[in-house]
Structure 1
Amino acid sequence: MKKSFLGFLLLLFSPWAAAQNPSPAEHLGYPLGNKFTYHHRVVEYVRTLAEKNPDRVKLIPYGSTYEGRPLLVAVVATPENLARLETIRTDNLKNIGLLAGTASGPIPALAWLSYNVHGNEAVSSEAVMQVMYELLNPGNPTTQGILKNTVVILDPCLNPDGHDRYTEWYNRVAAVLPNASPFAWEHTEPWPGGRYNHYLFDLNRDWAWQLQKESQERLKLYNQWMPHLHADFHEMGSASSYYFPPAARPFHKDITAWQREFNNTLGEYSRRYFDKNSWLYFTRNNYDLFYPSYGDTWPTYNGAIGMTYEQGGGGRAGVAIARENEGDTLTLKDRIAHHFATSMSTLEAISSRSEKTVQEFVKYHETARTNPIGTYKSYVIRTKGEEGRLNAFRELLDNQGIQYGLAGRDFSAKGTNLASLADENVKFESTDLVISAYQPKSTLLKILFEAKPDLEDSVTYDITSWGMAYAYGLKAYGLKDKLTPAAYKASPMTNTVPATPPYAYLVRWKSFDELRMLSDLMQQKIRVRTSQVPFEIDGSTYEAGTLVITRKGNEALGARFDQLLAETATKYQVRLIPAQTGFVTQGSDFGSGDVAPMRAPKVVAVAGEGVSPLAFGEVWHFFEQQIKYPLTVVQGDALSRVPWREVDVLILPTGTYGRILTEKVLSDLKDWVRNGGRLIAMESAVNYLADKPDFDLKRKKSEDKKEKTELFKQYANREREAASDETPGSIYRVKLDPTHPLAFGYGDTYYALVRDTYNLDYLASGWNVGYLGNEAYSAGFVGKNARERLKNTLILGVQDMGRGQVVYMADDPLFRGFWYNGKLLFGNAVFR
């Protein structure tokens, strides 16, 4: 192994090349590590090797990014295995019950290696070129031995848009001779940085939720292969060394003994390389296996061996950076060598246990089908009146490859409400959705539905609760009985134009689909009203927030009005209810002031230095991709030049606003609100406005008491002690005022994913629309001090200021885009 690795170093830093294949240096025109390679050139090299080795490489394009860059994987195998590649793929799916039929025979292990999910962690897209070159090098006995029983799938760059955002910037500003000083220009990446994709989402938090185009397209391919191992290559701060498994605690309790054992095996193989080369590394720290939406955990919950590798460096490191803590200079060549080493060690580890790995993978899914883990053997979701939420939830299930069906009959059963966690006797209907735990992906199903995942360690890397009943606002129940669902048959709803033109059309305000439809109608200049109060008509009751689309006000559309409305509503699967009169039996008639016209607002969001790229990206994606509504983006330092008369709604995503909202800008902003503007402040923007003049929001006053000082608390416990003041991501039950427009569509309860210890008092003069009471905690880890501070605190508030409003959203309802139940809430803030 040592001779093989010394050979690699000679390959990396000399012009040697195999007779057939150009080395990366020969193809690129510079040695790997001398500069960062643009994405199109990485792809070009992968394609070149594929063209020169048609019997050993198959390229599979699987999509493109938002900016149009190609996404693809390269499958590398022996000629014998490549010739039967489709049989290997389908036999693997047959082995685990995801494809009907019986496998034709034994298959090799499938190892999928993913590089560069964070664009400015760009070293891995350099390393993958050397990895592919060596896998195709007939003179390398290590790689040729690996390929005898392992098929290797390489994804050279999961985030091309972020990669090129970083690479184009770095290559533009880097000195001719790399400047290793940490203060040099090339080590100070500008906002928003290259870490994120086009819409500034973190793709490594999107594996389960699949909000982003890149994730959707990649995981569709992943499910067609279901590899036995998945390795994810990253970078961390430049002061760090190198992390490889074993992973840190907490491990999710459903990770199998074999997966834990292999986690240790990976560490053993990596240590051999690092020890022999005297490279620094660490294990069992920082990077746990718990939150289900990472590139190590999501594959793990799909039965694979999943792991993360982290190289010290990141976007700040550039080609070379001086490290005061180590007294050395970390170079790009060093980082490439380390990622190459762990790529090889990973492949050697699975190759050494290829047969056992395949056997355990089959066993994992056989257990899932015949004896699924967990308390609940079936999940039932009520569908009546919740069609919009169910459409979105079924899309999530389809993306995961989770099977579902219908109840097929009316029945009663005892089940656990997966939001309140109370046992209830429930009457279910034939059209309710049923998900059986007896299926290949039941472990993933169980983990996604978990309300209170068991947490073996309070120090975690990410959020600690994510239950789908909370995230989607579902009426979901876990049953201990095994139910066999009837086949699901899609029955799309179609709106037709009534024979007699109605006085108005009504739309219940229940789900995100209604919001998407409203956005479309506004852009078609169709005039929409909304009832501010509940009402009754034709024997049916309607909640406040119901859309009322009258013929009056839409005369300009003439005979096209009904057809346009029917087509638009059908597009979003929203049911139109014709009303032949404007007279209601209870509530307010459609011509009253309580049934107010809705105006299409001109919306502006703040971006740039000081604003969280992630928080801004959530808002940006919400408007452009989810509701497809025009959004004007303004840099924070340009707010002083905004023509306020042309703005109806201003959104402040979380960020640091001290330099953005100067005294002059804040004064102009308040004047604009008083003249009818609506300001939406989110998370830390809320904290910034608290206690400012003219803003009614106040922080809680701390109790005037002396805290007992612990004289002998241990320094070694500092991280664990700090956790007592934090909530990394827990679920709280928010009490809502359902009569306020901000809460329309929700009733009196909303479950929020709380990630900060809000310390906000109730509004003295304003509307406390959503707040946490004394017993609001529902699930997830919350430190003892944080839990106390989260009692009796404001989450959602609205302050009237002159003719305008300030909307305070201390909790971000758009977090990572996956909290479906928060999207209508944010829509209310914008449009109501």
Structure 2
Amino acid sequence: MKSLSFSVSAVALAISALALSGMPSTSTASEQPVPEWPQARYSGTPTIEDVLGYPAGSRISSPEQIQTYFQALAQAHPDQVKLFDYGETWQGRPLFYAAIGSEENIAQLNAIKTDMQRLADPRSINSREARQLIESLPASVWIANSVHGNEISPAEAAMVTAWHLLSSSDERTQSMLENTIIYFDPLQNPDGRARFVSRYYATLGLEPSADRLSAEHNEPWPNGRTNHYLFDMNRDWIALTQPETKGRVAALLETYPLIFVDSHEMGGDLSYYFTPEAHPYNPFITSEQREGLNWVGENNALWFDTFGFDYFTREIFDAFYPGYGASWPLYHGSLAMTYEMGSARGHEFKTRDGEILTYADGVQRNFVAFMATIETASQRRQDLLQRFYNYRQQGIEQGSRGAVRSYIFSNTRDLAGNRKLMALLVAQGIEVGQATEGFRACGESYEQGAYVVQASQPGYHLIRTLLDTNVPMDEEFLAEQERLRANNLPDQIYDVTAWSLPLMFNVDMDVCQQQPRVATTPVNTQRILPGEVVNADAEFGFVVPWGDMNSGRFLTAALREGLLVRSSDLKFTHANGIEYPAGSLIVPRAGNPEELTAVVQQLASATGAQVTGLDKSWMRDGPNVGSVNMKRMHAPNIALLWDEPASVLSAGSTRFIIEREFNYPVTAIRPAQLRAADLSHYQVLILPASSGGSYDQALGKSGRENLRQWVQRGGVLITLGNATRFAVSGDAPLLNSSLEQKAQVNELADLASAGRTDGVLIDNDDEHQRHIRNPNAQPDWVSGIIARTAVDQEHWLTAGIHEELHAMFIGNDIYTPLRINHGRNVVNYIGADNVLASGYMWAETQQQIAHKPLLMVQPEGNGMIISFTQEPNFRAYLDGMHVLFMNSIFRGAAHARPLR
């Protein structure tokens, strides 16, 4: 991390720009001063009003204003404030954190970071050195704010809390500074906040409206919650797809804070939520950590009682999924927690109880929660340090003598996926080695290049959480969910129940009960290794084996270079004796530029592809280059439906994967244009999953007919997740499948015209529940599991895909298979006994999805409809689905027959 530098003139210029910005004024500044704190005595530290021109809590500060204020604090207190840059957003906004403490602690900040890194690795120090560090180091709190850009008050409260810590001379605050380093990450999502602030003030009239119906409180699509690529970054911690998350994780591994606060907002009708979290807890969170979370919660409660603020705990926001900001640090030994303030979502909000909630109210309550948490860290300094060390030490011990001692990845299939996964683990503080020679372990033989993750390291708990096939939920909790469901009540499962990275990457992993004895080299965070070209001077051209993202990136790069590329629908064996899988790419010299060798070498290096030169075109087996089964690949123009009713998250992750993983451009088109626009310029059109609205309503009859005609002329329409409902709906559906109702629902007898029916005897509660069920019910909602699917190896759409593929199943959309005269079901869930790979699923849903389609393709004129019944791009962390999605775009476009 590098320290941020700035000058007085830079701050002055920023303030002047703000004064001239012409933003509308408001007359709703808080009547009480913000902050309010007992016995506070303040010195001359510049206030928010001094620097930005308005009192704290009276305006929603922009990202630039927040940065300007922290720069002013660092300028005013250079011995107590240090600013550090940890990255940049997609839109170029800086990401930074501030370290605040006593002059003595800030002077020793680099040494404190180094000592925390030593304490984090008990292998590097002896017990005496550990004891000395625990006795001498300050505690530390990391306060992360507004990861959702429209959750506005936490970021403002970070400025207020920082000002209070630096300007208050009361004994309580000074003690906190002496015992604690406070890290403020004031704005985790600058791009989302900028979107919210701009749109909010664009709707503001003469005075703010508290009416929840007002435009101020109803953001247009996409709202400010997400970042530039429309990601919910509070789910990104185990995938690290976004620069904001990558940079933050790196900063945390440098500082190792003992308490991590992830400060959010929720609906304005709720009060304030803080730790402890709801059940279920992840089993790799220890009882000591849960006790520590109660320390924080109890002290927060004392302070909220002092101020007369309402709060609640434990009822929602569980601690099971590890991909939250309030979860991930726990698996490194810290305490991590969610704070949620009821949001005014502007200056004022009228609650259902008739009270007016103001922005300043949120800022003040967050401030109190932050101060209470800092106080807990200060008072529990040595306990927190000891427990952090214990967690890391126990991890090493459990990994060295437990049932799971190592994870081995063979790396013989999907070089790109294995490498990216290993780099992802390393980026999260996990040590990974790559074998320098072949070896045997647990009765299996592995080749040189296999990856080994030893469990006996400080990150043991995170390793188990990320790599275990299944992380079980508490049995009592699950029994309660089944009881609720049996009584027709909603379950309490908050998020996905499965996230095993090896399953989502669809790579081969073995769990071993021994530590392999083999020399390894440490893996770094480089996700794509340079590819190479063998036999570069070959006379005929080049072949690239298909099946991973290295070859996928090579394809898109070659198409964007204008190269002639062919792809085989079938596997083939070249005259060199090597068998190549279906989908493999042929780049002949004929028809390509004279400098082809140099271009291919550059593309291989950049994409990671393994390329082999071919001296001749002759194939021993399979199609020759001139076969109809060798399709010429074209560079398709891709359109993506953008705006309501598309799900923000589905649209964003789909665009991200195509643009940033495939390195290929996408054109976003709004539904209104799709109603009648000439789409002949596009070869592929993608409908993201819907957020609940109707594509039928958004597109209307004219839009549906326009799409149908475009498909018939040779377009490829791809539907994702519940967008497939649009394809199967209407009098003349585009796809001859249909949504299923819940299976085995006992139909109730029809009521006679007189309102009577045959009498029945109900013997027990179970029978009563059966009789009151909705006979037209949909399958029960599944929060998110990983399912096993079987892949049709003989269809061009699945070229290069392994015979078994893991996919997420979320929701309750189950589709009937296509009949053979209509199309093909190319990926299907396997039998009920084995379909569940990870997570928790209702038994009857598990039975019902068996042998149902995940991916269907149906020809229509010169084009086709390709439908994923589940979202293949969910959170952009289903890397094992990327090649299949790429096939649907690029191989789909190659198999369509438009007039070119």
**How does the TM-score come out when normalised to structure 2?**
0.86
Equivalent-residue separation in structure 1 for 2:449 and 2:644 (angstroms):
50
Query: Is the CA contact 1:61–1:70 (under 8 Å) kept in the aligned structure 2?
Result: yes
- How far apart, in 1, do the equivalents of 2:766 and 2:602 lie? 71
Contact 1:407 1:434 in 2 (8 A): yes
- Is the Cα contact below 8 Å between 2:741 and 2:778 reproduced in 1? no
CA distance in 1, matches of 2:289, 2:241: 28
Secondary structure of the 1:755 match is: strand
- The equivalences for 1:249-260 within 5 A come to 249-260=279-290
Is residue 17–residue 23 contact of structure 1 (8 Å, CA) maintained in 2?
A: no
2:35 counterpart residue number: 12
In the alignment, which residue of structure 1 is the partner of 2:484? none
Mark the CA change 1:623 to 1:279 in structure 2 (over 3 Å): closer, same or farther: same
Give the alignment of 1:283-682 within 5 angstroms.
283-313=313-343, 317-324=345-352, 326-372=353-399, 375-414=403-442, 425-456=443-474, 457-458=477-478, 459-483=492-516, 486-488=519-521, 495-496=532-533, 498=535, 500-537=537-574, 538-554=576-592, 557-558=593-594, 560-655=595-690, 656=693, 657-682=695-720
**1:96 lines up with 2:136 in the alignment:** no
Q: Against the structure 1 CA distance between its residues 594 and 111, is the aligned structure 2 distance closer, same or farther, given a 3 Å change threshold?
A: same
Q: Which amino acid aligns with 1:671?
A: Q
Moved more, 383-392 or 726-735: 383-392
Alpha-carbon deviations, 1:415-446, whole Å to 9, x = none? xxxxxxxxxx4222232111101111111011
- Equivalent in the alignment of 1:49: 73
Task: Map residues 802-817 of structure 1 onto 2, 5 A cutoff.
Answer: 802-817=861-876
Matching of residue 735 in structure 1 with residue 790 in structure 2: yes
Does structure 1 residue 706 correspond to structure 2 residue 761?
no
> Which residue of structure 2 lines up, in the alignment, with residue 113 of structure 1?
143
Q: State which drifts further: 685-694 or 347-356.
A: 685-694
What letter is aligned with 2:634?
R
Q: Aligned to 1:380, what secondary structure does the other structure show?
A: strand
Aligned residue identity for 1:365: R
Q: Over residues 484-518 of structure 1, what are the superposed CA-to-partner deviations in whole Å (9 max), with x where a residue is unaligned? A: 55231679555357474331211111211211111
Name the SS of the counterpart of 1:661 in structure 2: helix
Maintained 8 Å contact 1:535/1:541 = yes
- Measured after TM superposition, the shift of residue 593 of structure 1 is 1.2
- Cα–Cα, structure 1 residues 638 and 214, in superposed 2: closer, same or farther, change >3 Å? same
- Opposite residue 825 of structure 2, the aligned amino acid is N
What amino acid is the match of 2:333? G
Counterpart of 2:783 in 1: which secondary structure? coil
Quick check: 2:534–2:611 contact (8 Å CA) kept in 1? no
Equivalent-residue separation in structure 1 for 2:831 and 2:509 (angstroms): 25
**Aligned with 1:33: secondary structure?**
coil
CA distance in 2, matches of 1:578, 1:818: 33
Distance in 1 between residues matched to 2:370 and 2:779, nearest whole Å? 38
Tell me which amino acid in the other structure corresponds to 1:455: M
Question: Which residue of 176, 179, 194 maps to 1:164?
Answer: 194
- 1:506-537 Cα offsets, whole Å, 9 max, x none, are 11112112111111110000111011111112
**Match in the other structure for 2:831:** 774
User: What CA distance in whole angstroms lies between the structure 2 residues aligned with 1:98 and 1:619?
Assistant: 42
Deviations 1:147-183, CA, capped at 9 Å, x for gaps: 1211110011000000110011112212332211111
The amino acid that maps onto 1:475 is: D
Letter in structure 1 aligned against 2:586: V
Mapped partners of 2:602, 2:744: distance in 1: 62
Q: 1:6-35: per-residue Cα shift (whole Å, max 9, x none)?
A: xx9645389x99443122233322222222
- The match for 1:421 is none
Aligned mates of 1:674, 1:116 — CA distance in 2: 47
Change (3 A) 1:723 1:635: closer
Task: State which drifts further: 443-452 or 371-380.
Answer: 371-380
**Cα distance between partner residues in 1 of 2:198 and 2:122:** 42
2:619 alignment partner, SS class: coil
- Which digits, 9 at most, give the CA deviation of each residue in 1:743-774, with x for residues without a partner? 11113211001112232110012010111233
Match of 1:419? none
Judging changes above 3 Å, is the alpha-carbon distance between structure 1 residues 161 and 705 closer, same or farther for their aligned structure 2 residues?
A: closer
2:102 aligned with 1:67, yes or no?
Answer: no
Q: Rate the CA distance shift 1:499–1:735 in 2: closer, same or farther, 3 A.
A: closer
* 1:238 partnered with 2:268: yes
Comparing 193-202 and 335-344, the one that deviates more: 335-344
Mark the CA change 1:175 to 1:17 in structure 2 (over 3 Å): closer, same or farther. farther
Per the alignment, residue 808 of structure 2 pairs with 753
Aligned-residue Cα RMSD (Å) equals 2.4
Q: Which residue of 1 aligns with 2:753?
A: none
Decide which moves more: 154-163 or 363-372.
363-372
Give me the whole-angstrom Cα distance separating, in 2, the residues matched to 1:18 and 1:351.
Answer: 21
Amino acid at match of 2:59: K
Residue 728 of structure 1 aligns to a residue whose secondary structure is: strand
CA distance in 2, matches of 1:127, 1:641: 48
Q: What is aligned with 1:145?
A: 175
Q: 1:163 to 1:525 in 2, by over 3 A?
A: same
Counterpart residue type for residue 447 of structure 1:
T
Q: Is the 8 A contact 1:495 1:567 kept in 2?
A: no
| Matched residue count | 803
Residue 219 of structure 1: CA displacement?
Answer: 1.3
Distance in 1 between residues matched to 2:544 and 2:33, nearest whole Å: 69
Give the distance between the partners of 2:536 and 2:402, measured in 1 at CA: 53
Name the CA shift for 1:484/1:255 in 2 (closer, same or farther; >3 Å).
farther
SS of residue paired to 2:620: coil
- Residue-by-residue CA offset, 1:716-741 (whole Å, 9 max, x unaligned): xx9xxx99922111011111112222
In structure 1, give the amino acid aligned to 2:630.
V
1:789 to 848, 865, 870: 848
In structure 1, give the amino acid aligned to 2:714: G
* Bigger shift: residues 819-828 or 500-509: 500-509
Q: Secondary structure at the match of 2:337?
A: strand
Alpha-carbon distance change, 724 to 295 in structure 1, aligned in 2, over 3 angstroms: farther
| Greater shift in the superposed pair: 465-474 or 771-780 | 771-780
Q: Is the 8 A contact 2:237 2:245 kept in 1?
A: yes
1:623 Cα offset (Å): 2.3
Kindly provide the amino acid, as one letter, of the partner of residue 412 in structure 2: K
Once the two structures are TM-superposed, the CA of residue 369 in structure 1 deviates from its matched residue by 2.1
CA contact (8 A) 1:497 1:562 kept: no
Is it true that 1:212 corresponds to 2:271 in the alignment? Answer: no
Cα distance in 2, alignment partners of residues 354 and 13 from structure 1: 26
Q: Does residue 683 of structure 1 match 2:721?
A: yes
Secondary structure of 2:616's counterpart equals coil
How far apart are the structure 1 equivalents of 2:633 and 2:707?
23
How far does residue 542 in structure 1 lie from its aligned partner after superposition? 1.4
Query: In 2, are the aligned partners of 1:93 and 1:99 still within 8 Å (CA)?
Result: no
Tell me if the contact between 1:111 and 1:153 (Cα under 8 Å) persists in the aligned partners: yes
1:417 match: none
- Does structure 2 retain, via aligned residues, the 8 Å contact 1:388–1:510? no
Q: State how far apart, in whole Å, the 1-side matches of 2:815 and 2:447 are.
A: 43
- Name which of structure 1's ranges 690-699 and 632-641 shifts more when overlaid on structure 2: 690-699
The runs of 5 or more residues in structure 2 that have no matched partner are 1-30, 479-491, 749-761, 892-900
